[in-house]
């Protein structure tokens, strides 16, 4: 009501004033009053238009910058909002609202050090007990995230209409996964950081009545200098069944990554990975895989960003008898992300992969060739600092010139293996076998998943 009365009064006064310079000054004040009125009436577009009028004439105006930042953040334009909040703080260092809001944005952009700096300055301000308690929690959490131990627990449910990747005899499956992630980070200097993560996860499959326990250890080190970030990491993973007490497979991989900020709103990265996988019960699926990939990321404005990528993979099987499973693959991907506000984001991804096998299939006597395509959507909602909710849906299609069966390397009576000695693949095979070879037949499937994660 007060903003509306002010706007009306300004309009009447401007109509009576004949001094041009005085009129221009009053018009800016009128635009501010209108902007505040529209903001109160929950008309963000109209409000932002008025404040942009003010900023065009007075770029450092604190009130216009603050309201514009609030509206832009609500629209998902978080990086643009952060710039305006910083202008407000530069003029009014004690503005707790601007500091709190920009710190939250930096958290979501994974700029933990910038966020921590603002939260520490907030603690030096006059705060209520609740505000002080919340700021202390933020400082403690971010300090550990930069130089200490953080823990995340998540629970997810996945509904799969074709878990065995069959074109004719599909098997539905519902699974649930409980995951814990422990990450210790250590900041050696402003440019050199390191750490190690340990991630155990337990998955149960209700229809097939089987389960899997996976453990992953991942030490890493990063070097940050100017616009460049170089990372080196090692990853060891072991998968085993609990109910059947069977070790399934293990793998280890070595990764090198180079990320560079090309210019404002543009980033690129290159990565190289060497992976060795080993099946516990048979050497048939032991393999090595070389992967070289690159991505290009753009900030498109208005809360949108996208990433385009290409990956080349070369797989070699250790067992000569299984050399027809070795392949090389070319993948292209595209991901579009939208921030709707400071808490909610969504992404849409598409991926296509051409897999060409080096040797003819020993049963079909023909080289296998696969063309894979997938499209998926994901939504994230941050309930508060600790709790995040997520949901996803995915559609996959794989076209192959050959079917897929599980065949023995050799028969017990030493007779040659033929098609009659093979059996159709099932869902346990898909999960349990080391995914060193993507020799899959024609299929299509859809999955729907949802869950939550909690950070400590």
Question: Counting Cβ atoms within 10 Å, is residue 129 exposed (0-12), middle (13-18) or buried (19+)?
Answer: exposed
Query: How far apart, in whole angstroms, are the C-alpha atoms of residue 136 and residue 142?
Result: 10
**110-to-18, 115, 145, 146, 207 alpha-carbon distances in Å:** 53, 9, 10, 11, 39
- pLDDT tens profile 255-282: 999 999 888 779 999 999 999 988 777 6
- pLDDT tens profile 275-325: 998 877 767 778 899 999 999 999 887 788 999 999 999 999 877 777 777
Instruction: Please tell me the CATH superfamily of domain 149-455, with its number.
Output: monomeric porin ompg (2.40.160.40)
What is the pLDDT confidence band of residue 340, given thresholds at 50, 70 and 90? Answer: confident
More confident: 3 or 403:
403
Q: How confident is the model at residue 432, as a pLDDT?
A: 47
pLDDT at residue 70 above 80? yes
Note whether 68 and 74 are within 8 A (CB).
no
Q: What's the pTM value of the predicted model, to 2 decimals?
A: 0.77
Outline where 42-77 has alpha helix (H): 44-57, 62-74
What is the pLDDT confidence band of residue 409, given thresholds at 50, 70 and 90? Answer: low
DSSP strand pairing (387-400 vs 405-406): unpaired
Neighbours of 228 (CB within 10 A): 11
pLDDT at residue 426 above 70? no
Q: How confident is the model at residue 217, as a pLDDT?
A: 98
- Kindly indicate whether the domain formed by 2-144 is annotated with CATH number 1.25.40.10: yes
Mean pLDDT of 232-254: 88
**3-to-7, 20, 40, 48, 363 alpha-carbon distances in Å:** 6, 24, 8, 15, 80
pLDDT at residue 416 above 70? no
Mean pLDDT of 412-419: 62
Q: Return phi, psi of residue 381, to 5°.
A: -135, 120
Question: Counting Cβ atoms within 10 Å, is residue 293 exposed (0-12), middle (13-18) or buried (19+)?
Answer: middle
pLDDT at residue 451 above 90? yes
Q: How confident is the model at residue 256, as a pLDDT?
A: 98
With CA atoms as reference, report the closest residue to 94 among 127, 143, 64: 127
Note whether 180 and 152 are within 8 A (CB).
yes
Matching residue, tokens 């897999």: 355
Half-sphere exposure of 144 (CA within 13 A, CB side): 14
Query: How far apart, in whole angstroms, are the C-alpha atoms of residue 235 and residue 214?
Result: 13
pLDDT at residue 440 above 90? no
Residue ranges of the domains in the chain?
2-144, 149-455
Q: How confident is the model at residue 438, as a pLDDT?
A: 46
Beta-carbon contacts of residue 345 (< 8 Å; ≥ 6 apart): 76, 337, 338, 339, 379, 380
Neighbours of 40 (CB within 10 A): 13
pLDDT at residue 196 above 80? yes
Which of 41-46's residues contact partners 24+ apart within 8 Å by CB, and which partners? 44/71, 44/74, 44/75
Q: How confident is the model at residue 3, as a pLDDT?
A: 56
Distance of CA 436 to the CA centre of its chain: 24
Four-CA torsion 23, 29, 32, 38, nearest 10 degrees: -70
- pLDDT tens profile 360-390: 776 667 888 899 999 999 999 999 878 999 9
What is the pLDDT confidence band of residue 103, given thresholds at 50, 70 and 90? Answer: very high
Query: How far apart, in whole angstroms, are the C-alpha atoms of residue 366 and residue 362?
Result: 8
Q: How confident is the model at residue 365, as a pLDDT?
A: 73
Matching residue, tokens 């999955």: 447
Mean pLDDT of 171-175: 92
- pLDDT tens profile 206-216: 998 889 999 99
Question: Under DSSP, is residue 195 helix (H, G, I), strand (E, B) or coil?
Answer: strand
- What is the pLDDT of the chain when averaged over all its residues? 85
- pLDDT tens profile 44-69: 899 999 899 999 989 999 999 999 99
Residue 436 Rama label (left phi>0; alpha psi -120 to 50; beta):
alpha
The angle formed by the CA atoms of residues 82, 85 and 86, to the nearest 5 degrees, is: 85
Note whether 355 and 327 are within 8 A (CB).
yes
């Amino acid at each position: 009501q007060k903003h509306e009365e002010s706007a009306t009064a300004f309009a009447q006064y401007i109509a009576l004033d004949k001094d041009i310079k005085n009129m221009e000054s009053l018009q800016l004040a009128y635009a501010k009053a209108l902007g505040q009125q529209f903001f109160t009436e929950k008309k963000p577009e109209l409000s932002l238009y008025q404040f942009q009028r003010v900023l065009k004439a007075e770029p450092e105006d604190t009130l216009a910058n603050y309201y514009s930042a609030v509206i832009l953040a609500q629209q998902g334009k978080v990086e643009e909002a952060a710039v305006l909040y910083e202008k407000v703080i530069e003029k009014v260092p004690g503005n707790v609202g601007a500091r709190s809001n920009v710190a939250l944005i930096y958290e979501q952009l994974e700029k933990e050090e910038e966020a921590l700096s603002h939260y520490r300055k907030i603690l030096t301000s006059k705060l209520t007990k609740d505000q002080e308690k919340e700021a202390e929690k933020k400082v403690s959490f971010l300090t550990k995230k930069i130089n200490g131990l953080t823990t995340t627990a998540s629970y997810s449910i996945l509904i799969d209409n074709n878990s065995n990747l069959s074109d004719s005899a599909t098997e539905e499956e519902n699974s649930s996964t409980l995951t814990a992630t422990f990450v210790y980070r250590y900041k050696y200097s402003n440019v050199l950081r390191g750490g190690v993560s340990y991630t155990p996860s337990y998955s149960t499959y209700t229809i097939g009545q089987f389960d899997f326990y996976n453990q992953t250890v991942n030490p890493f080190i990063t070097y940050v200098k100017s616009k460049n970030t170089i990372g080196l990491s090692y990853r060891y993973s072991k998968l085993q069944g609990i109910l059947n007490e069977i070790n399934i497979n293990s793998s280890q991989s070595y990764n090198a990554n180079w990320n560079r900020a090309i210019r404002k709103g543009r980033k690129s990265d290159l990565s190289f990975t060497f992976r060795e996988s080993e099946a516990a019960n048979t050497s048939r699926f032991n393999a090595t895989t070389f992967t070289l990939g690159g991505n290009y990321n753009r900030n498109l404005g208005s809360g949108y960003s996208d990433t385009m990528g290409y990956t080349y993979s070369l797989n070699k099987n250790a067992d000569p008898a299984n050399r027809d499973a070795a392949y090389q693959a070319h993948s292209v991907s595209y991901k579009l992300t939208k921030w709707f506000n400071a808490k909610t984001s969504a992404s849409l991804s598409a991926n296509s992969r051409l897999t060409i096998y080096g040797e003819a299939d020993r049963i079909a006597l023909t080289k296998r060739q696969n063309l894979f395509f997938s499209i998926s959507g994901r939504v994230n909602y941050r309930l508060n600092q600790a709790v995040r909710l997520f949901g996803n849906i995915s559609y996959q299609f794989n076209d192959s010139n050959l079917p897929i069966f599980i065949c023995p390397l050799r028969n017990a009576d030493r007779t040659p293996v033929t098609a009659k000695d093979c059996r159709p693949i099932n869902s346990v095979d898909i999960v349990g076998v080391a995914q060193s070879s993507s020799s899959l037949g024609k299929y299509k499937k859809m999955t729907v998943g949802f869950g939550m994660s909690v950070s400590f």
